Chain A
Amino acid sequence: MKFQIIYGTESGNAETVADDLVDEFDGDVEIEATDMTDVTLEELDPSTFLLVICSTHGDGGMPASAVPFAQLLDDEQPDLTGLRYAVFGLGDSSYETYSRGSEHIDVRLQNLGATRVGDYGRHDAADGSLPNESALEWAHEIIAAVAVEVPAR
């Protein structure tokens, strides 16, 4: 099973999370990271497992780099039946719309037939911490569970 990380970022935090996940798991599993802006529909294939890392912008909106991806899904309405994914959302609970950015992507993937698995990971930046550590813990659980199903060859 191939793992495809797609990240939606505004200030770069989600991208460093994606970089760290690649560093951590590369070699053990097939894994790569792409900015959501650059994702094509061909990459959304049931043979890959999608790890969605997405921040929140301003008042609960999507970060800049997630917007073109959401638009692509809205315009093309691809059938994502069979595609499985997990979500890790970044946000700041100082705002009422904490972590809502990732939910905009989650709801689209679900509506198009994809299935979310595992815990919905969330990181709260309100205390000034970085999301990277908790994202690693989250990814370890997801990848361990998913990789077991189809052993890497």
Chain B
Amino acid sequence: MTDDFVRILDGNTFVVSDSRGDIEASPTDPTGLFAYDTRFLSSWVLTVDGNRLTALSTDDLQYYESRFFLVPGTGTVYVDAKLSVIRQRVVGEGFRERLTILNHDDKPVDLNVRISAASDFADLFEVKDALEKKGKYYTRAESDRLLLGYERQTFHRETEITTSEPARITEHGLTFAVHVEPHAEWSTDLRVTPAVLWPDGRRTVLSSRSGRKPEAMDKDLHAWLAAAPKLECDRDQLKLTYRRSLVDLAALRFSPLIAARHSLPAAGLPWFMTMFGRDSIFTSLQALPFVPDLAATTLKVLGRWQGTRVDDFRDEDPGRILHEMRYGELSAFEERPHTPYYGTADATPLYVVLLDEYERWTGDRTLVRALELEARLALEWIDRYADLMGNGYISYRRRNEKTGLENQCWKDSWDSISYHDGRLPGFPRATAELQGYAYDAKLRGARLARLAWNDPAYADRLEAQAADLKRRFNHDFWVEDGKYYALALDADGAQVDALASNIGHLLWSGIVDKSRAKALAAHLVGPRLFSGWGVRTLAEGEGRYNPIGYHVGTVWPFDNSFVAWGLRRYGFKEEAARVAAGILDAAEFFQGRLPEAFGGYHRSVTRYPVQYPTACSPQAWSTGAPLLLLRTMLGLEPLGEHLVVDPALPAGIGRLELLDIPGRWGRIDAFGRGRVKVG
């Protein structure tokens, strides 16, 4: 997506248009109005007297609202400055658009104003992969509305377009005969509403958060910002990044059908505006010191959808936490397995990690007790269903060979897991960070078992298993020549010996033997992994290293935030500050909104971070990265009923204050000064 597009969003409803506000989607690009993974509007073009308009300026007023200032005529022809046109658009239940025409002349004017509209009802997967439709379209022009519809058997989706001012409505759009007096204006309110039609005649309007009207959104955003800690800092750019993160996190919230009034973050615009197990958990972890409620909702909703059966098509097992939920046509007709799809090997142990971390911050034992069954089932999944090789490690191999995911770890592209020489291992694969998550989950599960489940025997068992896992892991994964842990074990139990950012996650999980942590820290900020902006997904010098390869050389802000946390966990404050400084510097080049990933080129080569071509933005766990980096820089760590503050800030930051940090202590302030030279 180029940056000429204007995007507004609210949870999983979003509109992407050009800078004039027009939508002219091709089958393969993600422009249009989307709700619940379906495109409800693929064409929406405004003309005045048959001419397209020219954008003078576009204002992103809020994440859910934009305003387009236009004049008739296109760039190369005469621009009639006697008229201006304003389109103000708010996303909510579909979107509303107020179209206003101002006559600056001292003579009245008569205009033919037209909006053409159409929808291809593409499933977002079809847009991504350019697939053909199997159902039938219809359009119905009524006296007061235009209906665009799509039916395939009982699957029925419809877009309703209405206007407050009278229009001549045809199957192709709305035409207004507009008369504007001198120095006067004309306007109409247009509404585009996406709906599901049920066979019994009922209709459900699709909105991100049920029952909420656009008017309430402004209030809601203010309340969200007011509840978060305040950041004071010498560096204005950091304040901007912080605010951007909070606002984008608010924008990405949605209620996935069953969360009542609660909401959790969708993963990212435009491809991943839905519930992801892994992304929701990582984002909730990042945001815990700031907006702890996200974690509670994530735990509840993912718990409700926890797997209950063995379903090969969905890669579901009992106790497994879902990977991805989709609501579009391909999922409905089981051409894709996402209702939901369970093919992830990390979300399940991470679920237990989040539950424990949530309790450490909030002291909410009620939720820990309420989710005891889910947590136990998750821990059981690790031993009973995830040990595909019978060697005591989590590994993965998809059972859905057609549409399932090959790589079920966070680096889920096809070539992400490779040997040093570039070969790809067979399956199953036991990637390193999965073992770290399992170790951490067992220890945290043990803590919860003693604290809230009254089962010390279970806690003892989990701790013994964790200790055994750590011992075996440090033996089997350690690459003695290179002084790091292998990326994975292959199906023969041999090391997949590439050096990758995964070693940072191992520090975060605590599975690393203390004596080896120093070598890992040196790698993470060393020349092969560290680009100057951040830690690369794969080290320079590896066979598949490519600075713009999705998981084989780019820098992921989310990844780096957990690497920094891992470095802090083992006491490497300065190294953690270096990583934080690089990522936060990069954020400034993106106006505070970190993309999913950027190029792994060295900082001295490009001088600015090169965005990965099809990266998602905003993306929840990139949005969460600055939050977690603030936590690691300030050294925030709950200890009993208290919050420990142990700052190690990069020198460029100056003074930093984070005020009113919520938690089991009530509200607490943290202060720090930039002293760490990051060079």
A and B interact physically: no
Residues of chain B having any CB pair with chain A under 8 Å: none
Residues of chain A having any CB pair with chain B under 8 Å: none
